[in-house]
Chain A
């Protein structure tokens, strides 16, 4: 177990190194010039060159990257070009909001997705099954801003049940979490349905029924733990998709998370913040997958971590 964990962490470090290199390189070759953003339109060529030298942006790519990496291993994510604050501080102040949103979204996703999937599997071939699967298809294909605006219009503007935007109370969390949850639930319901159908055919389900167990016990006690494994692995992967999704949703709902931070930074070519947010997202994805793999043996004892 310790050896497994150590090896996985070593691999994770390599992945993060790769992510940092690719992102840094892409930002380097980007035609947008961050110095122009900082200096403003009216700045003289001399001022621009001064700022460029000050930030070290006149040096060759490999030197810049090496410098960034050297800071990174000491936990230094650099300073924002425009806000003049430490990137680590900026991210730390916004991460709790994003984590809260992520928790809410994944809960909503699983609640909707798994329920739909299980019900569809049990009612396989009926109108209900077809309706649920059609719904999941629609949610998978719907764009984020459409769903978020629709929810805002109905539940915030028309019904007034939830605030239009902002952060602070549980009520603020509902709509953004629901938006992300609805969008992700389609994948889960489809996967859960097919996994559940497979498991319900298994011999041990017949054994459980022959023991005289109730239907609820057969489905929830015997079938569900076997069917949920692929879903667990999916949650790990889903964190990546999620990180992309929050950029739009946080902006629409005015949610002060790192998605909003990233959106603002991209508009102003604030490279240190873009790098920082990308790396934090990469860490989240890597940790999410690791966590999914670590949880799996507790659900299925046949899985050994090697």
Chain B
């Protein structure tokens, strides 16, 4: 039994369902034909219950939620079935009646807190407007209610938040505002579409806790749409697993995890990265391929009449580590901690201070030709494979382009090499003449990996390379990376916010916080015996894909990471790492930069 269901009064056992979906079919009209996106979906939602709709991209889970609210895109429509809220048939209602229900009886929160709030309106205006759309109250009365709602989502300084604009708030704070807006009118049903996917893991933890607490207070029924089985296990009473627009399986959460019936569910659960599953590998002792010593990256902020530097963004502060041949070194940390900036500094895309050596050669002393040669040794694989591939190039050309740039081989040789690489990453060589849009997300990432391998680099920087992929695809890409490492002896700098993935793939790990490494060691040291409070918090925040897991008690506080911006001439206190045995480096206790907060 989940914590949520244990604390809840026997939900839905006696009352009629608050929401009924029967035989719902949603189709998109393209080229004059109807193509179903959701097929014959039926479920009920009981008062105070959390129903998770889980599935990978393209499973139709988000379309289902939009269909319930009548917010489908113009060329998409409900072609069969019914949706009923209590006794009200939603699918039969005219737009004006449906509008009265939206936001009042059914509310919704979305995945992207960054873009889901109107950037040119204050938080207060948006909240007040939502309240006044459904209740005939005065502006000041609505404002009082808005304040209450902001307090309910535990936002600090609610008075001030009302006058602020969305861009002045962090992602976690914005999602709290979204929740406050959705719950201000105490709706019967809350549809949460991937509410924490875009958030950092510790922020996700806070938002999930908040949703659960508010549900308990208000008795709202929640439809939780997610791809994350960890979130499902923690939050849901029941689960519907969807695939290709159809229901694969429906069960109570404990049943689904303990006894999955459908093959797809079993595969899905098996593919979920779990902490503590990483295979033990012997430590890598080879010579380093990359060595960073005291690397500092700062971005100046200019102001004043003459545009002089007034502040600096301290993106990376005195970071030192090395990556050995054939090793996977992972950098973990939350957004803005500087992990991607380190990657950029490594390939010379941002100016840095301090020393970076690639294969024993300092990069600072290189001329243009030397830099180009260095590029052969270090290659990158990015997060979004669609954005990383030129849509107008054939994939064969994309993969062989690095060879062309460096003047290696003749045209037929390059083509043969591209086909060979495609085969190595699990694509067929005859797909070389196709374009990127003809491939799936996972296949595109394989193309990116093949391209990175073309020059036989010593080091591949994988910057959130599997974060955008569905779990089943993610698992296969991780397997591929491991196999390629065995085969080519290439080292990986693996940058990720996903603790479970890092735990599965890495040999050594560095934990970053506000531009500095606060803990570094082998995977066993960092994950088995985390010493730094921040590492402990990160690990504890990861949702565990096991409904029987009882999370440790933790304080429910909204905390914000302090700003990395400092006035020119000052900076954060330098974190000193001390060895606490066998090369396990931990920041000295009570480093001031961690205890100080934003002024």
Contacts and interface: CB of A to CB of B under 8 A. Distances in A.
Interface of A: 3, 6-7, 202-204, 206-214, 217, 221-222, 225-226, 299-302, 306
B569 interface: no
A214 B69 CA distance: 15
B119 A213 contact: no
5 contacts: A6-B305, A204-B117, A210-B107, A211-B130, A226-B120
Contact of A210 (B100, B108, B112, B167): B108
Interface string B92-133: 000000011111100110101001111111000000011001
Contact of A207 (B110, B133, B167, B303): B110
A208 B130 CA distance: 8
Nearest to A205: B118
Given A206-B71, A207-B110, A302-B167, A3 B304 contact: yes
A202 B119 CA distance: 11
Contacts of B121: 222, 225
Contacts of B102: 209-212
- Interface of B: prevailing SS: loop
Given A3-B304, A7-B305, A302-B165, A207 B178 contact: yes
B29 interface: no
A61 B129 CA distance: 65
Nearest to B66: A206
A211 B129 contact: yes
A204 B116 contact: yes
Contacts of B69: 210
Tell me which of A3, A212, A214 has the highest count of chain B C-beta atoms within 10 A of its own C-beta.
A212
Chain A to chain B: the 8 pairs with minimum beta-carbon distance, closest first? A212-B103, A212-B102, A211-B103, A203-B115, A3-B305, A204-B118, A211-B130, A210-B108
Contacts of B221: none
B103 A301 contact: no
Given A212-B103, A300-B119, 6 more contacts: A204-B117, A204-B118, A210-B108, A214-B133, A222-B121, A226-B118
Contacts of B130: 211-213
Nearest to A306: B303
Interface string B67-107: 00101000000000000000000000000000111111001
A212 B120 contact: no
Contacts of B101: 212
Contacts of A212: 99-104, 130, 133-134
A300 B118 CA distance: 10
B85 to A, nearest CB: 13
B189 interface: no
A170 to B, nearest CB: 35
B490 interface: no
Nearest to B303: A306
B120 A225 contact: yes
Nearest to A124: B74
Contacts, number: 81
Contact of A211 (B112, B119, B133, B302): B133
Contacts of B117: 204, 207
A222 B166 CA distance: 14
Contacts of B305: 3, 6-7
B181 interface: yes
A306 B310 CA distance: 12
Nearest to B168: A301
Given A222-B121, A301-B167, A213 B116 contact: no
A213 B133 contact: yes
Nearest to B191: A210
The interface centre, meaning the residue of A211, A222, A226, A299 with most chain B CB atoms within 10 A of its CB, is: A211
Contacts of B108: 210
B178 A301 contact: no
A225 B126 CA distance: 14
B110 A211 contact: no
Interface in B558-584: none
Contacts of A217: 129, 133
B167 to A, nearest CB: 5
B115 A211 contact: no
A306 B311 CA distance: 14
A197 to B, nearest CB: 12
B498 to A, nearest CB: 24
Contacts of A300: 119-120
Contacts of A6: 305
B133 to A, nearest CB: 5
B69 to A, nearest CB: 6
Contacts of B307: 306
Contacts of B181: 207, 211
B146 to A, nearest CB: 13
Contact of A209 (B71, B112, B134): B71
A210 B178 contact: no
Contacts of B116: 203-204, 206-207
A204 B118 CA distance: 5
A215 to B, nearest CB: 8
Nearest to A224: B120
Nearest to B113: A203
A123 to B, nearest CB: 11
A306 B302 CA distance: 8
A16 to B, nearest CB: 20
Interface in B46-76: 69, 71
Given A3-B305, A211-B129, A213-B133, A202 B115 contact: yes
A301 B125 CA distance: 14
B74 to A, nearest CB: 9
Interface string B294-319: 00000000111101000000000000
Contacts of A299: 120
Q: For B102, B118, B129, which residue has the most chain A Cβ atoms within 10 angstroms?
A: B118
A299 B120 CA distance: 7
Nearest to B101: A212
B118 to A, nearest CB: 4
Contacts of B119: 204, 226, 300-302
A231 to B, nearest CB: 14
A302 B169 CA distance: 12
Nearest to A301: B165
Contacts of B178: 207
B31 to A, nearest CB: 15
A209 B101 CA distance: 11
A298 B103 CA distance: 29
Most buried by B among A7, A204, A206, A210: A210
B308 to A, nearest CB: 11
Contacts of A222: 118, 121
